[in-house]
């Protein structure tokens, strides 16, 4: 069994095993002609049920064969140009290389004595990101598992900075289309059920700053504490970017912490064409960035950045077994002092490899391509009488719905769109997402693959229309 431990005597086994796995995945990627096979839970579950985990196969090739059967064959492939559903990107090769290196060396980024250079690499990337945002000389931050954790940590710092004992008094303002992790965080932070105030959005799904000002005023009048305003720079559904400069002004006026949730829009930090769309982000107290969304990084890769490094002390605890207080005076860099996690992956290495091989402009150019594609897609949808499209994209999503000329019942149109999404998924020809707008069911393309073309968009729209028409035809038959 010792031959399975990765060490100086097993390097040949390591090389062979990993190469065999890489060969499989490479062959799979080359052969995928659809983003999904359409496999159902009922198809797949019995194959897993049949596997006895207490009866190992022992042989790597046999295990990879089995994996083919229970996972690889039927996985959802984000690299396929017709995967258009959620905020998942195809990944860049330098980052995948980074992933292979980081898991083999297995550094843990909690302390210097578990990582050494890894800590310095992460710190340099935090500084790089903070500088791109423009957070100023006192900025800092830390890598996290994702936007959800980044938002939680940012709001923890905001809560502590209020120095308010009575948590029931705290209010967090976020637009009605902000991410649900804001509400989850509020709950985890012990705030009351009324704590998160949903601020209405305008026609373009951007926070209405007049409404925000009104809510902040109401909060002050009621003797409550405006703990934070969460501005979303790229909403999950619409990619809409809240008016950051105006929100920054209101935060200053009312003494609220400004958090920018740029989990999605952070790609603009590297953009060559659209960086101005997030102007004002430099005025934030904290920023969430998800490199695993718009920097083409494998899951997970995310960070929370803060304007004032000192605020990270609210996440600092010392333990004799890990990061004793004396290490601070000895100036030993222990990232755990800034993190909600303890043992923590060296995810930063993926971004490091990416920037060293491709450069930031290389990443920015890819993100610009998908933003341009979304703009083209919007034109196609706006000109197509079969569809209603919601907002002109600021990033790379399109929210739309099939609207048959002959049908007026909105509930029937809802059902046709829901059916089309399901039928498309079952066919595996394409994967699209769905959401609700003003109570009605819509479909969504999240475009993060520069390999997707306008021809793909046209083809998928035709498939959607075809499935929806089929549903309506059958429902007509049922009615007769």
**Distance of closest approach, residue 126 Cβ to ligand PLP, in angstroms:** 17
Task: Report the alpha-carbon distance of residue 109 to residue 116 in Å, rounded.
Answer: 9
The residue among 181 and 209 lying less far from ligand PLP, judged by its C-beta, is: 181
Query: CA dist 373 to 66, 263, 366, 378, 477, Å?
Result: 38, 20, 11, 9, 39
Closest CA relative to residue 212, chosen from 240, 187, 244, 235: 244
Least Å distance, CB 405 to ligand PLP, is 34
CA distance 103 to 170: 41
Q: How far apart are CA 335 and CA 332, in angstroms?
A: 10
Task: Considering the complex, state which of residue 219 and residue 374 has its C-beta at the smaller distance from ligand PLP.
Answer: 374
Q: How far is the CB of 362 from ligand PLP (least distance, A)?
A: 22
Point out which residues bind ligand PLP (CB under 6 A): 87, 146-148, 151, 179, 181, 232, 235-236, 261, 263-264, 290, 302
DSSP state of 241: B
**CA torsion 318→320→324→326, rounded to 10°?**
140
345: tokens are 């992956």
Whole-number CA gyration radius for the chain: 24
Measured N-to-C along each axis, helices 348-357 and 359-382 cross at an angle, to the nearest 10 degrees, of 90
Write down the least CB distance from residue 303 to ligand PLP, Å: 11
Helix (H, G, I), strand (E, B) or coil at 262: strand
- Closer residue to ligand PLP in complex, CB, 302/394: 302
In the complex with ligand PLP, the residue whose CB is nearer, 146 or 450, is: 146
Report the nearest approach of ligand PLP to the CB of residue 464 (Å): 23
The β-bridge partners of 286 are: 259, 306
What's the closest the beta carbon of residue 85 comes to ligand PLP, in angstroms? 13
Of 393, 396, 377, 388, the closest CA to residue 468 belongs to 388
User: What distances in angstroms separate CA 369 from CA 275, 294, 431, one per listed residue?
Assistant: 14, 12, 20
Beta bridge mates, 434: 443
Task: Report which residue's Cβ sits closest to ligand PLP.
Answer: 147
Place of tokens 């559904």: 237
Closest C-alpha among 350, 389, 308, 331 to residue 102: 350
In the complex, minimum distance from the CB of residue 151 to ligand PLP, in angstroms, rounded to a whole number: 6
Q: Which is nearer to ligand PLP, 238 or 471 (CB)?
A: 238
Contact 137, 306 (CB under 8 A): no
Quick one: how far is CA 390 from the chain centroid? 22
Residue number, 114 or 446, with CB nearest to ligand PLP: 446
The residue among 118 and 146 lying less far from ligand PLP, judged by its C-beta, is 146
Nearest distance, CB of residue 339 and ligand PLP, angstroms? 15
Tokens of 464: 């959607």
Q: Which is nearer to ligand PLP, 111 or 235 (CB)?
A: 235
Q: Among residues 424 and 448, whose Cβ is nearest to ligand PLP?
A: 448
Closer by beta carbon to ligand PLP, 264 or else 445: 264
Helices 454-479 & 359-382 angle (0-180, nearest 10)? 40
């Amino acid at each position: 069994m010792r031959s399975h431990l990765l060490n100086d005597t097993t390097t040949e086994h390591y090389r062979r095993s990993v190469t065999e796995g890489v060969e499989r995945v490479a062959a799979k990627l080359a052969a995928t002609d659809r983003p999904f096979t359409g496999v159902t839970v009922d198809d797949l579950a019995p194959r897993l049920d049949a596997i006895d985990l207490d009866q190992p196969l022992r042989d790597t090739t046999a295990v990879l064969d089995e994996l083919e059967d229970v996972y690889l064959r039927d996985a959802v492939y984000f690299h396929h140009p017709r995967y258009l559903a959620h905020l998942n990107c195809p990944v860049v090769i330098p980052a995948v290389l980074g992933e292979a290196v980081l898991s083999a060396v297995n550094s843990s980024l909690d302390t210097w004595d578990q990582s050494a250079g890894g800590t310095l690499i992460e710190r340099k990337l935090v500084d790089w990101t903070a500088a791109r945002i423009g957070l100023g000389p006192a900025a800092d931050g830390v890598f996290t598992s994702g936007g959800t954790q980044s938002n939680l940590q940012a709001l923890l710092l905001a809560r502590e900075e209020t120095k308010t004992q009575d948590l029931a008094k705290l209010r967090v303002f976020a637009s009605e289309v902000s991410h649900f992790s804001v509400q989850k965080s509020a709950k985890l932070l012990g705030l009351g059920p009324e704590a998160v105030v949903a601020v209405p959005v305008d026609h373009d799904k951007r926070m209405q700053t007049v409404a925000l000002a009104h809510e902040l005023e109401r909060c002050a009048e009621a003797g409550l504490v405006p703990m934070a305003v969460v501005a979303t720079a790229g909403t999950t559904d619409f990619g809409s970017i809240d008016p950051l400069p105006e929100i920054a002004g209101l935060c200053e006026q009312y003494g609220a912490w400004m958090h920018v949730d740029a989990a999605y829009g952070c790609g603009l930090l590297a953009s060559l064409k659209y960086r101005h769309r997030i102007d004002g982000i430099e005025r934030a107290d904290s920023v969430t960035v998800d490199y695993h969304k718009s920097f083409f990084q494998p899951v997970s890769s995310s960070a929370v950045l803060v304007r004032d490094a000192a605020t990270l002390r609210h996440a600092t605890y010392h333990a004799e077994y890990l990061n004793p207080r004396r290490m601070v005076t000895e100036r030993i860099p222990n990232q755990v002092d800034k993190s909600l996690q303890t043992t923590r992956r060296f995810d930063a290495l993926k971004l490091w490899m990416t920037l060293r091989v491709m450069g930031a402009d290389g990443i920015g150019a890819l993100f610009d391509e998908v933003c341009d594609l979304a703009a083209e897609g919007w034109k196609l949808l706006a000109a197509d009488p079969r569809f209603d499209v919601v907002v002109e994209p600021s990033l790379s999503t399109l929210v739309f719905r099939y609207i048959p000329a002959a049908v007026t019942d909105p509930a029937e149109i809802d059902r046709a769109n829901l059916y089309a999404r399901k039928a498309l998924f079952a066919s595996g020809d394409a994967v699209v997402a769905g959401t609700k707008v003003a109570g009605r069911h819509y479909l969504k393309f999240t475009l993060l693959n520069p390999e997707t073309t306008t021809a793909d968009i046209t083809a998928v729209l035709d498939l959607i229309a075809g499935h929806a028409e089929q549903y309506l035809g059958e429902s007509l038959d049922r009615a007769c």
